[in-house]
Amino acid sequence: MKRIRMIGSKGISPMNLRPVRIHRFANTALAVALYSGMVSCGHSGNSCLLCTTSTVRLFAYVVNNGSGNVSAYSVDTASGALAAVPGSPFAAGTSPTSVTLVTSSNVAFTSFPEETVQFAYVVNRTSQSVSAYSIDAASGALTTLPGSPYATDSGPVSMTVVTGFGSTVVEPTGQSTLANAGNFAYILNHDSDNISAYAIDATKGTFVPVPGSPFAAGSGPVALTIAGHFAYVLDNGGDSVSAYSVDTATGALSPVPGSPFATGSGPISLALPNTSGAATYVYVANSGSGDISAYLLDATSGALTPVAGSPFPAGSKPVAVAVGGGFAYVLNQGSNNISAYVIDFSTGTLAAVPGSPFAVGANPVQLTYPGFVYAVNAGSNSVSAFSVSSAGALVPLPGSPYATGSQPAGLTAFASGMQVTPSGHQYFALVPNGGSNNVSAYTLDAPGGQFNGALSAVSGSPFAAGTSPDSAAAITTTVTVPGN
């Protein structure tokens, strides 16, 4: 049985695999409805019938792989500076690899203070479990949930959450909102070649195993993506994609007819473009064969059919693919560059953008595309940042590449949660530095608040973390109290 292929000097393995994050800006900005200090009052004459004050707070959580805990910070919503939350760091399992944050919309508030109810989940690779916590909306402190940690199978590497499955909206992993039903967590177990599935209690945040869990995957699974009512798992050791239909009532997984579907050698990253068209395409980066497999996704069956000309050539050892705006970008770890393509939405084929590939730093490990393109370079301790031209070409932002700490592991971008600039929200980015045990913090706004994607180090950055910080996430909370 083949296992995951090691890539580059650091290697892309379950311990340091980075998902491509392309949705944080939109999710965070759209989710915020209250601003710090907002007062809502209903008056009749001189009498205040209903007065409340809502305070928004912003917290960030960094998983420390080496010390087995989670560093929690409050984030200054104007400056982006980090301050340790009382009680931080909070214990997790052994070798934690990722953190997922969710909000519950299913709690009936009957007394003041009203607080958003939110939960944090940490995947622990070596101890084969998921640690679950509630988040204190006022302080950001973590409290272990009853029943936590929840057992997985061997070698869990990532967790994917879907919320409100079967309703009109299905959200991907990240900052999601739990609905009154259809909330599920899927943990990908690399060493045991399967998927642990749980239903999430929308009020308590606790887990209940899905009947039939764990579900078999292929050899050495490394990434799981939910698309509509289907799930797709990259089997790095089996050179294939395992496809499943998802029971929206129970969360159970059933193999799609014809699954698994062949890929190139060493598939490691999967992406789907957002399109209003009838056709949906899937793109898979193959680290071993240095190319991109492209498929048409059948919306009825979930089956994948290769598009004409697939696979398409990339650089050496591609490790991530991201799509958006009609373009696809592939991070090539072996050749230290990004291959850029135009997507033909009538056929799904890829055509190289003029000037591609575009150079980045040494040993890039993560690609992020939230309107701008960022490549995190573990070998050169930097982030390469680009704007995207109308033709899809990558144009370096002023000052790029931006310095980080030692061995940066990935970049997480998020909004402040309140209107503090003339253009609206302040945007921030965090980069955990596994080699220097700290977190670099940046603003993404030019002077005057005009968002331009460039990184400016926050005063006091980098901020201390635990040993070998590995990933980060941020979330806004609200506390509503009676006014006068």
Parent domain of 127: 24-482
Q: What is the pLDDT of residues 108-147, one digit of tens each?
A: 444 555 566 789 999 999 999 999 999 998 899 999 999 9
Residue 290 within any structural domain of the chain: yes
Q: Please state, in angstroms and rounded to a whole number, the distance separating the CA atoms of residues 118 and 105.
A: 9
Confidence (pLDDT) at 482: 61
This prediction's pTM = 0.85
pLDDT band of residue 106 (cuts 50, 70, 90) is: low
Helix/strand/coil for 81: coil
Average pLDDT for 304-316? 97
> Looking at per-residue confidence, does 39 or 357 come out higher?
357
The helix (H) or strand (E) run that includes residue 26 is: helix 24-31
CA distances, 216 to each of 124, 155, 191, 247 (Å): 20, 14, 12, 16
Give the chain's domain count: 1
Residue 368 within any structural domain of the chain: yes
Average pLDDT for 37-52? 46
Whether the predicted pLDDT of 417 surpasses 90: no
Residue 16 within any structural domain of the chain: no
Whether the predicted pLDDT of 402 surpasses 90: yes
CA distances, 277 to each of 230, 305, 414, 454 (Å): 18, 17, 28, 32
Confidence (pLDDT) at 54: 67
Confidence (pLDDT) at 17: 33
Q: What is the pLDDT of residues 204-230, one digit of tens each?
A: 999 999 999 999 999 999 999 988 889
User: Maximum CA pair distance of the chain?
Assistant: 77
Average pLDDT for 262-290? 86
160 strand-pairing partners: 186
Beta carbons of 231 and 26 less than 8 angstroms apart: no
Confidence (pLDDT) at 209: 96
What does DSSP say about strands 194-200 and 184-189: parallel, antiparallel, or unpaired? antiparallel
Average pLDDT for 24-51? 38
Residue 8 within any structural domain of the chain: no
> Looking at per-residue confidence, does 235 or 274 come out higher?
235
Q: Report the alpha-carbon angle 254-256-261, nearest 5.
A: 130
Residue 171 within any structural domain of the chain: yes
Confidence (pLDDT) at 426: 77
Beta carbons of 332 and 314 less than 8 angstroms apart: yes
Q: Please state, in angstroms and rounded to a whole number, the distance separating the CA atoms of residues 160 and 174.
A: 8
Q: Please state, in angstroms and rounded to a whole number, the distance separating the CA atoms of residues 429 and 473.
A: 10
Residue 11 within any structural domain of the chain: no
Confidence (pLDDT) at 447: 53
pLDDT band of residue 21 (cuts 50, 70, 90) is: very low
Helix/strand/coil for 254: strand
DSSP string, 412-473: EEEEEEEEEETTEEEEEEEEEETTTTEEEEEEEE-TTS-EEEEEEEPTT-SEE-SSSEEEEE
Q: What is the pLDDT of residues 288-307, one digit of tens each?
A: 999 999 999 998 999 999 99
Residue 325 within any structural domain of the chain: yes
Average pLDDT for 148-154? 96
Sign, CA torsion 447/450/452/455: positive
Q: What is the pLDDT of residues 432-458, one digit of tens each?
A: 999 999 999 999 875 555 567 889 999
What does DSSP say about strands 82-84 and 358-359: parallel, antiparallel, or unpaired? unpaired
Residue 382: CATH number of its domain: 2.130.10.10
Beta carbons of 472 and 438 less than 8 angstroms apart: no
Residue 7 within any structural domain of the chain: no
Helix/strand/coil for 288: coil
> Looking at per-residue confidence, does 325 or 319 come out higher?
319
Confidence (pLDDT) at 46: 47
Q: What is the pLDDT of residues 335-376, one digit of tens each?
A: 999 999 999 989 999 999 999 999 999 999 999 987 899 999
Whether the predicted pLDDT of 422 surpasses 90: no
Structure-token pair, residue 140: 């950001």
Q: Is the peptide bond before 96 cis (omega within 30 degrees of 0)?
A: no
Q: Which of 326-330, 388-392, 412-416 has the lowest mean pLDDT?
A: 412-416
Q: For 177-216, b where at least 16 C-beta lie within 10 A, e where not — what string?
A: bbbeebbbbbbbbbbbbbbbbbbbbbebbbbeebeebbbe
Q: Which of 37-51, 158-172, 194-208, 316-330 has the lowest mean pLDDT?
A: 37-51
Across the chain, mean pLDDT equals 83
> Looking at per-residue confidence, does 196 or 280 come out higher?
196
pLDDT band of residue 26 (cuts 50, 70, 90) is: very low
